[in-house]
Every structure is written in structure tokens, then in C-alpha cells.
């Protein structure tokens, strides 16, 4: 993706899945690699998917912060 600053460094993904009708299909993230996020639903549906990714190298584990 040309909008991401670092290649292949997606650390966290958050997404919203909005259907255009009243249905609520099951959906999940299937893959995150090569700066691409793949989200699949269990049925064919017309939907809008909003995706937010973070490429930060810093994470918190236990009581410390690591880079």
C-alpha cells in the first residue's frame, strides 16, 4: 500500500464491517502480510470495511516498554 510508511511492518489491525442491509454475516481477518489486510465474510455481502493499521515498533509487555 503506498499510504503506509514502512513496508511489511503492520503491528496492529482494527476494522469495522458495515453491511448495506440488515444482515450480520460472520467476518474475520484472514491474513496480514505484504502491507495488505484480508478480511473475509462467511457469505457474499455488500459491505463497507474500514481498516486502521499501526506500524509502530514499540510495544508494551508486562511492566516494560520495548522498541
pLDDT tens digits along 5-63: 788 888 899 999 999 898 999 999 999 988 899 999 999 999 999 999 998 766 555 55
pLDDT of residue 62: 58
Give the three cell numbers for residue 27.
Answer: 467476518
- The alpha helices in 1-67, defined as continuous H runs, are none
pLDDT of residue 59: 56
Give the three cell numbers for residue 47.
Answer: 459491505
2 neighbors 46 (Cβ within 8 angstroms): no
Which pTM value belongs to this model? 0.71
Amino acid at each position: 500500500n503506498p499510504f503506509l510508511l514502512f513496508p511489511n511492518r503492520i503491528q496492529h489491525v482494527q476494522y469495522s464491517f458495515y453491511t448495506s442491509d440488515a444482515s450480520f454475516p460472520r467476518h474475520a481477518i484472514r491474513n496480514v502480510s505484504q502491507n495488505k489486510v484480508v478480511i473475509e465474510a462467511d457469505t457474499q455481502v455488500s459491505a463497507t470495511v474500514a481498516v486502521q493499521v499501526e506500524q509502530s515498533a514499540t510495544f508494551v509487555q508486562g511492566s516494560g516498554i520495548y522498541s
